[in-house]
Chain A
């Protein structure tokens, strides 16, 4: 597995906190001035949830090298656990339901991470499929999870934190944004610690890592736990802040693949890539569908338009991966280096292939 740039490299002109501050100002200050309900509910909400899921998967797959096809299952565990904690423990603050749900997902992650101690590559990917099918099956089979709702679809509870309701499209956006920023900051910090370096060491060469004293088993399980925790919380955002209904089939294998594609397209082992990839996967189909309807809506029905979009998106992804196999994050860095060419010439971009 290759990563585009090592973690230090991807830092640019400003210190990390400078970027975070900039993102914060734009996300909290400027976006709300421009966004309509449509932008909040149809673009930003799924974007934030999928970005966070991709951040989580990137820790496991991009940094620690463990391929997983079970991301959607952990999202489902998070969403259903949060629903049930909230429903069944009277007076439990919402934020604690979220936290416990994340821990539940982390627990699942560890259980289904156990095979990674013995399996690698494709074999591991297949065993994570078990998580995917098991969770979907269990949530459908046992009605307790959906509180015996006859059709198995449950309504998301209102989001209230410390007495402050986060309602309406902008309220849900602020909630999702805060969660995503906090967890992404945590992930960004984590990958620069000894633990993060252990992840990379295990990914790059397990035997070598063991020889230099990296606790391989512990590292793998830790990666699974942290990753599932974050993905579980992403599931809560998906269900509570975006769709506002919770349904097991919304977390099917397609969703797992979607998240995997996001990190491949965005760039493995870069947190920025998770966001860029999610933006592409969420926004591009919408842009194409809008343009298609606008330009050709009179000539073709929605089915033909939808088919052509799929072809176009598929072709774009193939072209893109050929032109830039290191993902959007690498593209971003290269574009930035060109833009600030003079400034960055002091430290030339050095491609690290691991």
Chain B
């Protein structure tokens, strides 16, 4: 029977592909390399962020490999695994890539995926980097030894934004009686700052109204109608992906002025404002790294990679864009953590725990940042064993219709105010999980053997 023959060939095809699949399961590893599993996303609603960020990080890794021959001779290697910003896919990618040897650090660029990985990577003793995002209380290295919300955690971002609004209003005292609406993305990332806005509003005497935009956020009429009725002095846009240009366009339609909308650190890219057209002119957003391609490190990337067709971005116009530059800064921080750990443990392939030590001693002052060719790209960082954020500075940029113009100095968030709140939350987490709070001495104990093989214990 004709139909039956078809079935058999379908089945044998399936069998053949399973055999191939089994072959693909075994991964090879060589010595003298440091591996970065990249849970990237190049398709789906957040592809703009994913391609820019991972493109920047890969460009920087490539630069280190081709210009310096790796970090002190240790080649950087990586594999990408597509997550589409979905937690299940991120977890699958983690499981797929974790068996690879010589993993230095994870960079999932998704709060949801990062949350799902915290227990797992703590077990594996491999650092998890959530630059500019992540779980705020993981700043407390006493409780989260392997999680690093580098440069700017969500609370610091909030504090920076409120400080900026206060400065615009002529001082904190003038915030009293003002009204701020926070329009946030309906995801773990978006919700992360709800309590801190409430707290700051009580402390400084402004009223705050927080409105959720369901993921992915391409329909916001109802939210902006509410905003129109509330008549706030400022709207803070805590968006992500397509939600941002839609917010700006809807704001224009409802008559809310763009220069009173302040974007957060994931609403600050060219991809957020260009699709909004003239609705975005005057819009201001916080950032940890400047945009533009004039910095020496970017010039070298262009010269070494893009001029010979090895650059990661498909669209060369995006070189020096906000996400690309953030990816480059992320690359710098990962590479420097490896370099610092190598100085301590020897110029060889390191274990995840050794790289963790490197991140906990990631001290790049303005001079070192300038040596790396990134003067003005970002300010500085000083990560310690108990402060996994590293005192990152922020600046504000305003969109003029063609490019971002920096409109403030490097501002420090109010860390003193935030630290006790963070510690309260992390200590509660430690209690819930029955974790021991780490001391400085514990942080100096470093595992030099790969522990991943033992992960079945959990």
Residues of A within 8 A of B (CB): 36-38, 41-42, 46, 140, 150-153, 155, 167-171, 242-245, 247, 249-250, 286-287, 289-291, 293-294, 297, 301-307, 323-324, 331, 334-335, 338
CB distance from A306 to the nearest CB of B (A): 4
Instruction: List A contacts of B82 (CB < 8 A).
Output: 289, 302-303, 305-306
- Known A-B contacts A37-B95, A250-B87; A287 and B11 likewise in contact (beta carbons under 8 Å): no
Interface contact A301-B42, CB-CB below 8 Å: yes
- Known A-B contacts A42-B92, A151-B188, A153-B115; A302 and B40 likewise in contact (beta carbons under 8 Å): yes
B18 interfacial by beta-carbon distance below 8 Å: yes
Instruction: List B contacts of A152 (CB < 8 A).
Output: 188, 191
CB distance from B95 to the nearest CB of A (A): 4
How long is the Cα–Cα vector from A303 to B54 in the complex, in angstroms? 12
How long is the Cα–Cα vector from A306 to B42 in the complex, in angstroms? 9
B119 interfacial by beta-carbon distance below 8 Å: yes
Category for how many chain B residues contact A = 35 or more
B203 interfacial by beta-carbon distance below 8 Å: no
How long is the Cα–Cα vector from A75 to B336 in the complex, in angstroms? 44
**Leading 7 A-B pairs by shortest Cβ distance:** A303-B42, A42-B95, A151-B188, A290-B24, A302-B82, A302-B80, A306-B82
CB distance from A62 to the nearest CB of B (A): 22
Instruction: List B contacts of A290 (CB < 8 A).
Output: 20-21, 24-25
A169 in complex: contacting residue of B187, B194, B458, CB < 8 Å: B458
Instruction: List A contacts of B6 (CB < 8 A).
Output: 323
Interface contact A247-B24, CB-CB below 8 Å: no
Instruction: List A contacts of B17 (CB < 8 A).
Output: 287, 291
CB distance from B271 to the nearest CB of A (A): 15
B18 in complex: contacting residue of A167, A170, A287, CB < 8 Å: A287
How long is the Cα–Cα vector from A289 to B93 in the complex, in angstroms? 11
How long is the Cα–Cα vector from A305 to B84 in the complex, in angstroms? 12
Interface contact A244-B119, CB-CB below 8 Å: yes
The majority secondary structure among interface residues of chain B is helix
B96 in complex: contacting residue of A38, A169, A338, CB < 8 Å: A38
* Interface membership of chain B positions 185-222, coded 1 if the CB is closer than 8 angstroms to chain A and 0 otherwise: 01111011111000000000000000010010000000
Residues of B79-137 whose CB lies within 8 A of A? 79-82, 84, 87-88, 91-92, 95-96, 98-99, 111-112, 115-116, 119, 135-136
Interface contact B192-A151, CB-CB below 8 Å: yes
Instruction: List A contacts of B81 (CB < 8 A).
Output: 302
Interface contact A169-B456, CB-CB below 8 Å: yes
* Interface membership of chain B positions 8-21, coded 1 if the CB is closer than 8 angstroms to chain A and 0 otherwise: 10110000011011
Report the nearest B residue to A167, measured CB to CB.
Answer: B458
How long is the Cα–Cα vector from A247 to B215 in the complex, in angstroms? 13
B88 in complex: contacting residue of A46, A167, A307, CB < 8 Å: A46
Given A42-B91, A150-B195, A151-B188, 9 further pairs, Cβ under 8 A: A37-B456, A41-B91, A155-B119, A289-B82, A291-B24, A302-B82, A306-B42, A306-B43, A334-B7
* Residue of B47, B111, B458 with most partner-chain A CB within 10 A: B458
Instruction: List B contacts of A307 (CB < 8 A).
Output: 43
Instruction: List A contacts of B111 (CB < 8 A).
Output: 151, 153
Report the nearest A residue to B196, measured CB to CB.
Answer: A150
CB distance from B441 to the nearest CB of A (A): 27
B445 interfacial by beta-carbon distance below 8 Å: no
B457 interfacial by beta-carbon distance below 8 Å: yes
How long is the Cα–Cα vector from A326 to B51 in the complex, in angstroms? 41
Interface contact B191-A151, CB-CB below 8 Å: yes
CB distance from B80 to the nearest CB of A (A): 4
A245 in complex: contacting residue of B11, B23, B116, B455, CB < 8 Å: B116
B436 interfacial by beta-carbon distance below 8 Å: no
CB distance from A172 to the nearest CB of B (A): 9
How long is the Cα–Cα vector from A229 to B7 in the complex, in angstroms? 36
Interface contact A243-B87, CB-CB below 8 Å: yes
10 A-B residue pairs with Cβ-Cβ distance under 8 Å, sorted by A, are A151-B191, A243-B116, A245-B87, A247-B87, A247-B188, A286-B92, A290-B20, A301-B42, A301-B312, A307-B43
CB distance from B453 to the nearest CB of A (A): 10
CB distance from A164 to the nearest CB of B (A): 15
Instruction: List B contacts of A243 (CB < 8 A).
Output: 87-88, 91, 116
CB distance from B90 to the nearest CB of A (A): 10
Interface contact A150-B194, CB-CB below 8 Å: yes
CB distance from A258 to the nearest CB of B (A): 10
CB distance from B355 to the nearest CB of A (A): 21
Interface contact A331-B7, CB-CB below 8 Å: yes
How long is the Cα–Cα vector from A41 to B43 in the complex, in angstroms? 24
B344 interfacial by beta-carbon distance below 8 Å: no
Instruction: List B contacts of A249 (CB < 8 A).
Output: 112, 186-187, 215
A150 in complex: contacting residue of B4, B11, B192, CB < 8 Å: B192
How long is the Cα–Cα vector from A290 to B19 in the complex, in angstroms? 12
How long is the Cα–Cα vector from A331 to B189 in the complex, in angstroms? 44
Interface contact A168-B95, CB-CB below 8 Å: no
A37 in complex: contacting residue of B8, B135, B186, B455, CB < 8 Å: B455
Instruction: List B contacts of A169 (CB < 8 A).
Output: 455-456, 458
Interface contact A302-B456, CB-CB below 8 Å: no
How long is the Cα–Cα vector from A323 to B192 in the complex, in angstroms? 49
Report the nearest B residue to A41, measured CB to CB.
Answer: B95
